[in-house]
Every structure is written in C-alpha cells, then in structure tokens.
Structure 1
C-alpha cells in the first residue's frame, strides 16, 4: 500500500475519506479498518486495486498518525483503548478540550442533556457504592430518571436567575427518554449489554475521562452514599493499576478498603510484571476471589445485602425497615435486568 503514497505523512484525499468514514462510524477497530482502507485505496488507484489483506497494522497506524497531526489544531485526536469486555482495541475521534455534555448540545436539547447527566449520576453515584461498584444502569432504572427528582427541581429553582425560562429541565416523557438512550447507543456514547445494562462505551470513557474524574471524584459524599463509606472515602472513578485507564468493568482488590482496581485483561500482565506475585500492587493483599466491578457486581451486591439483612435479627423494627429498604435499592440493578 505504501507504493501509492497513502502510508506516509502526506495528507491527501485518502486520509480525508478515512476521516469522513470515522466520523460516520464514531469508532473503528483495525479489522474493520482494513476493508475500508482497501476500498479507499482502490478508488484512488482503480488500475491497482488494494486488497484488505494488503493493509498492515503499520499502514493503519500511519493513517492515524497523519490524521492526528491534521486534526490536533481543532482540539481533536484519534485515541485508542482496549474494550473492557471484548479486549478489542477501539479507535475513536474524540474532543480533547471542550466539556463533554456541551458537545452534545449541538444535537440534544437542554432537557435531554439533563436526562443524560442524571443517567451518569445513576451510573457513578447511585449504583457505585463501596459495597457494589456496578457503574451501570438498567433500562428501567434509566427511564425512572426521565423526570428530575423533587430535590433537583428545588435546587434548579433556587439557583435560577430572573429572565431564565421556567420550562428548562422539565424532564422527558418515557418515549422521549427511550429515544435519547437509543441515540446515545447509536452515537457510541453508551453500550447496551445482553443482560440489559447501559454502560459507558470505550469512546465515552476516552472522551469523558477528565470530566468523570473532575465531576465525581471531587464531590463530597451526599445523598445516597453508602453508610459504610463514612470510615473512609470511596473514590468513585478509579484507574486500572496496570494500564491507568478508567475501570468500569473488571476486578477490585479483595481488601474492600483498598482502591486498587484492574481490568480483567490486565490482571495477568500485572502479575507477570510483579514476578508472578498474585497480590494487590497497592496494599499487598492476596488477589484471590477478587470481587467484580461492573454489572456483575449488581447480583453480588444484592446477595450480600439480603444475607446481611436476614442474618441480623436485632436493632428493632425501624432498623429492620432501613435494612429492607437498602436491600431493595441495591437489588434494583439485578431485578431490573431480569424483568427486561
């Protein structure tokens, strides 16, 4: 392929065509890029068609490098990360500077953006506790957030200045909320799993990394925080001890007071780097039967809640009601997925 000049640093129509294709797709993998680049090359030189097997990883990386040099003045960059579940390397064109939710304002209304923010709060606050780091929501849980809560509405009204429209952030209908969720999946912001959970996509994790850390790690614990977290701060957004990327699916240190997290595909790499020692790199606790991070934590968290509530026979009726309520709240992630 290098014979036709597309693999060097000369920006040409083949790069523009590939950039347009990436904008349309949102994300791409190297296997998907091979036939695409082959078709682009063949269109440029029809007398010398290029086959997908002619496209090497080096050719693809050269395209990415050349495009990055061209789009960087516009605060754009093609980044890559490993999918936390499939382990595929995902490439996406991301915005490197502007606020992520502001970017959505070009195609989403203020009410839709507010709904997306509530869904993110559900992922990283409501269903992300020290006991169960689910960091995902079911369709049922997401649709319950179509309207702002009474507390959110009061805060909005208290901070609203004169001259602002009172119709802002009135919420969405169920049908509107379903449409927004579908668009978020289509635009590669969310992924929807076979078990019925919405999670942030690789593209979203790359683009929202800084915003997620700033938004959720700097906030003081508020309503809905786990009572057991009072003894120590529960960091909402954690990075993998091996690859330093955000972990929303993976494993947590068996010492539940430790903030060390690992992607499933990074566990073996870390242990090899530690000379075969299967221990937490932070607290040195044995890494055995590590609890899950992600939607698998929903079932485990619910089971632990039920066990605690059923085994505790003291504390009076009011305490029992509080325990029962906690069981119901943390079981919602699991039951919601099953009902769907």
Structure 2
C-alpha cells in the first residue's frame, strides 16, 4: 500500500480500478459490504503468513467515516513505525506528542499546538533539542507523511494514523490505569470515549463545574451513546443536563 491509511471512499476507488482491470469475482460490484469483505480476507492472509501487520478498522474522529490503517502488530514503538523518519524527526515526533498531551493536561484537553509552534523561540529549540533539524522542518515532514494533522484553524494535532498505529504507546505513556504507577509526567491526560471506548482527541466533554466528570465522547458517538441511557437528557457521569455543560475537545 502506498498510503498507510485509507477511507472507505479511497478503498472503493482502488478496488474499482482492480475490478475494471481484472474483473469482479461476483455480481456484487464494488459496494461497502464487498470492500469490507475484501479487507477481512486480506487480514486473514496476513495472519496466516505471519507478516505481523494488519488492516485496522476505525471511525475517523472528525468525519465519523470508516477508515482502515495498516498497522504493525508486533511493536507499538514510534521508532518501529516511523521507519522512514530520520533520528532527528523521531526525536522531534516524541517531543511533539509529549507537548500535545502537556497542552491537553494544562489547557482543557485541546490536544493541539499552534501552527507557529515549530518556529517560536525557545519552543522550537526545545522541540528538537540535540538534533540538527529545525522544529518547523520536523513538523513539515510529519505533516507531509501523515503523522500530524493541520486543522482549518491552523492548529497541529495527532492524525488518525498516529492514534491508530501508536494506540498502545499513547495509552501506556499518557493513560491512567487504576493502581498503576504513573509512567510519564502527564499520565492521565489521555481521554477515552464513553461510547466506543477508543482514544478521543477530537469531540466533546462534560465540563460540569461542580464535579470532575470524566465523560468524553466523539461527536459521532454522542447520539448513539445517549440513546442507550435510561434518561438520555442527562450526563451519566454527573446527572446534569448534557446540553448545558458539554464543551469541545481538540481543535
């Protein structure tokens, strides 16, 4: 795969071209169900042949649409995934991730950095301390290779690819597990969606000022989640009307 992550639309387009070139194996044509069955078969073949990779399905946080990402099943270390990045870029990537979770820890879970972060002093030097590349050069490379996302408001955040591929690393470094010793300065700054239980860096949270409520939701998970509750009008974490106190996560 040229791209490590594809949407359903992109996958359909790729498979349509294959069907046009070689013919379709059935009368179904290239439809959503058939695309998903093809990816299931690919994963079965990858598993049988011990290739230590798989196509991981997820829902895009920003669009709520299907996405598949090619992930390494044997390691969750940044250096193992980002094999095309230089040592300076890998070091910078680690620092950027740490700074993004630091911002979430300090600034109400925005999980982002301003566009100019890589060129502002002294932040830029700290970003790539010990390396030969500038902070902006590292950020530009990570954006072009799909590890980072640039929002319409010009804020930098972790891409869907990074969240899927480095899920275990992010949980280990920034998650909070009951009874476990914190593994980094910002342990507990990572949030998970109350609906799908996956990492959420773009969505909404309960910000009830009276309590420290832990309910976080992706936008596409919000309606299905509240529809399952006995009282769909109140937050299950603090019982306040959810329309009154829910505020955005991420930029």
Displacement of 1:49 after TM fit?
Answer: 11
Selected match of 1:41 from 19, 40, 47: 19
Matched, 1:182 2:140: yes
Q: 1:173 to 1:102 in 2, by over 3 A?
A: closer
Where do 1:14-93 residues align within 5 Å?
Answer: 23-45=1-23, 54-72=29-47, 73-93=50-70
- TM-score calculated relative to the size of structure 2: 0.84
Q: For 1:220 and 1:104, how far apart are their aligned partners in 2?
A: 21
- TM-score calculated relative to the size of structure 1: 0.63
**SS, match of residue 245 in structure 2:** coil
Instruction: Give deviations 1:212-232, integer Å, cap 9, x for gaps.
Output: 01012364674xx7xxxxxxx
**SS, match of residue 291 in structure 1:** strand
* Aligned residue in 2 for 1:16: none
**SS, match of residue 2 in structure 2:** helix
Q: For 2:166 and 2:57, how far apart are their aligned partners in 1?
A: 14
Instruction: Give deviations 1:227-284, integer Å, cap 9, x for gaps.
Output: xxxxxxx821111000111110111112251222111121111111114522222333
**SS, match of residue 35 in structure 1:** helix
Q: 1:62 to 1:111 in 2, by over 3 A?
A: same
Instruction: Give deviations 1:97-128, integer Å, cap 9, x for gaps.
Output: 31331224522222221111111111011x11
Higher strand share: 2
Mapped contact 2:88–2:133 kept (Cα < 8 A): no
Q: For 1:105 and 1:194, how far apart are their aligned partners in 2?
A: 26
Q: For 1:49 and 1:259, how far apart are their aligned partners in 2?
A: 48
Mapped contact 1:77–1:94 kept (Cα < 8 A): yes
Instruction: Give deviations 1:58-88, integer Å, cap 9, x for gaps.
Output: 2101111111112232221211222222222
Instruction: Give deviations 1:173-222, integer Å, cap 9, x for gaps.
Output: 43xx3333233223222111111111111121111111101012364674
**SS, match of residue 194 in structure 1:** coil
Gaps of 5+ in 2: 177-181
* Aligned residue in 2 for 1:204: 162
Higher helix share: 1
Q: For 2:20 and 2:184, how far apart are their aligned partners in 1?
A: 57
* Aligned residue in 1 for 2:71: 94
Mapped contact 2:76–2:165 kept (Cα < 8 A): no
Matched, 1:255 2:205: no
If you compute each CA radius of gyration, which structure gives the higher value, 1 or 2? 1
* Aligned residue in 2 for 1:142: 118
**SS, match of residue 166 in structure 2:** helix
**SS, match of residue 54 in structure 1:** coil
Q: For 1:259 and 1:172, how far apart are their aligned partners in 2?
A: 41
* Aligned residue in 1 for 2:179: none
Mapped contact 1:253–1:259 kept (Cα < 8 A): yes
Q: For 2:214 and 2:106, how far apart are their aligned partners in 1?
A: 10
Gaps of 5+ in 1: 1-22, 153-168, 226-233, 296-340
